[in-house]
Amino acid sequence: MRRSTNVELLASTTEKLIRPFEAMALFLQAANLFSSAVNDRYSALGVRVVVVLGVLHLALAGLVLPHRGPLTRGRTWTAAWIAMIFVVQLLLARLLAPGDFAAYGTGVPMGNYALIPLGVFAFYPWGRHRRLIEVGLIVAVVAHPLVILALIHRWQLTGAHVRSVVMYAGWAVVWFLVGKGIAWLCRIAVRLETEALSASYTATLGDLHTHVESAIEEIEAGNDAREVAHRLRLLTAARRGQLLLRAGNVGAADLFKNAIRACGDRLRLVSGPQLGGLTVPREHAILLEQGLADLLKNVVVHGSGSAEVGFTMTDSDMTLDVRDFGPGLEPSRLDVSGSSLHQLRTTLRERGGDLRVLPPPPGGGAAVRVTVPIWSRR
């Protein structure tokens, strides 16, 4: 089977969307049970059973919403959900007043209880045996009232029974098509997502080409090639940074490399951290990138251009240390409103982090420390 990029994207988008739908389906099943307890004719015990079932479904919906539902938990849970649908309907048919099941030619009592999940099943990407599973589910949903009638009336069906089952089959097809409609919306969403991504890449590339061409023209016109190269390097680093920060987790070494390379030969790295395979969740990476850019710029402008950089990450926070070999840094400089370091400290403090000047290291220079709390995981 050939799987294109869009098919993979579609599968992952559908998987993400299916979770709230699972909770919604269980919630609607609970509502259907409560409605049946009020509208259908049950014995006193039957009403209690139906209400208890409704409460259980409501609790399940509440559990599924923050965690995972049967479909996303795997085949065993999915099979259990499907089995539960048929068992509950059999039980309710047994609890109904004798002769009431599908007896009025208007459909099947509690019919929506099975039809709601059928809509979700139609939307679910089943994989290789999708068609077979979908046909099997429709047949099972449509046939089960017949089985119940056969058990109750031993195939002595009336015209009203047949009309009820046919009407129910019609609704089954409608719910299935609703599910397919949602799947269709997913495909549209994926196509738009792909087009937006593609347009964004085209724009980025076009922008880069424009800058490269104008840099060539500037050099040909006799402008300072070193200055043009510096501007181009800054631009490339900014674009690379944007691309890096698109990923959910960003390689820490990639962030550091990009920030250091953006400074070109104006910065000399005396020592840097060994980061190995460490990645940083995007929301923290954005802060880290900003901190690095501002502190390294400070080293280039005020701190002699040589830097020692250290970084550690624990369960609770990230710590970035930057030391330069310049004339030193007064802590009061962080209080100068409008300066980049002041702005950085404000941003960090808004997110529970901080920027502070450390005591002057042996050998002179300035040492500053950025801390960023790890406030949440995906």
Partner 1 sequence: MRILVVEDSMIADMARAELTQTLAFEPLVISDPVAALDHLRRERFDAAVVDMLFQAHSDEFESRRRDGEVRLTDARLHLSGLALLRAAQSAGTPTVLWTCGEANRRLHIMFAHERLDCRAMCLKYLRGGLTAAVQAVLSGSGYIDPLLRMHLPPRTAPSLRETFFASSSRRAIWRAMALGIHDHARIGRAVGISGGTVRRGVEEMRARLVAFDPGCSRDGPPTAELVRYASQNWEFFLDDTVREVYP
**SS3 category, 275:** coil
Candidate segments 137-145, 179-187, 200-208, 274-282, binder of partner 1 by CB under 8 A: 274-282
Q: What is the dihedral sign for C-alpha 86, 87, 88, 94? A: positive
Q: Considering only 25-33, 110-118, 269-277, 326-334, which stretch makes contact with partner 1 by CB under 8 A?
A: 269-277
Question: What is the end-to-end Cα distance of the chain in Å, rounded?
Answer: 33
Burial class of residue 127 in the structure, from the number of CB atoms within 10 Å of its CB (0-12 exposed, 13-18 middle, 19+ buried): exposed
225-244 and 252-262 are packed helices; what angle lies between their axes, rounded to 10 degrees? 160
Element (H, E) at 133: helix 130-153
Q: Phi-psi bin for 7: left (phi > 0), alpha (psi -120 to 50), beta?
A: alpha
Question: According to CB under 8 A, which one of 206, 248, 331, 352 is a site residue for partner 1?
Answer: 248
Q: Is 256 in the site for partner 1 (CB under 8 A)?
A: yes
Is residue 319 within 8 Å of residue 280, measured between CB atoms? no
CA distance to 25, 220, 279, per residue, from 141 (Å): 16, 75, 48
Comparison of 66 and 362: residue with beta carbon closer to partner 1: 66
Contact call for residues 183 and 17 (beta carbons, < 8 A): no
The one among 277, 338, 359, 362 contacting partner 1 by CB under 8 A? 277
Stretch that binds partner 1, among 186-194, 199-207, 252-260, 326-334 (CB under 8 A): 252-260
Q: Is 154 in the site for partner 1 (CB under 8 A)?
A: no
Residues touching partner 1, count (CB under 8 A): 40
279 binds partner 1 (CB under 8 A): yes
Mark residues 293-332: x for contact with partner 1 by CB under 8 A, - for none: --------------------xxx-----------------
The whole-angstrom separation of Cα 297 and Cα 237 is 13
Cα–Cα distance, 296 to 261 (Å, whole number): 10
Site string for partner 1, 68-97 (x = CB under 8 A): x-----xx----------------------
The residue (of 71 and 116) whose beta carbon lies closer to partner 1 is 71
By CB under 8 A, is residue 281 in contact with partner 1?
A: yes
Binding status of residue 251 toward partner 1 by CB under 8 A: yes
By the rule CB under 8 A, 3 interacts with partner 1: yes
Question: Binding residues for partner 1, per CB under 8 A?
Answer: 1-5, 8, 68, 74-75, 127, 244, 247-254, 256-257, 260-261, 269, 271-281, 313-315, 377-378
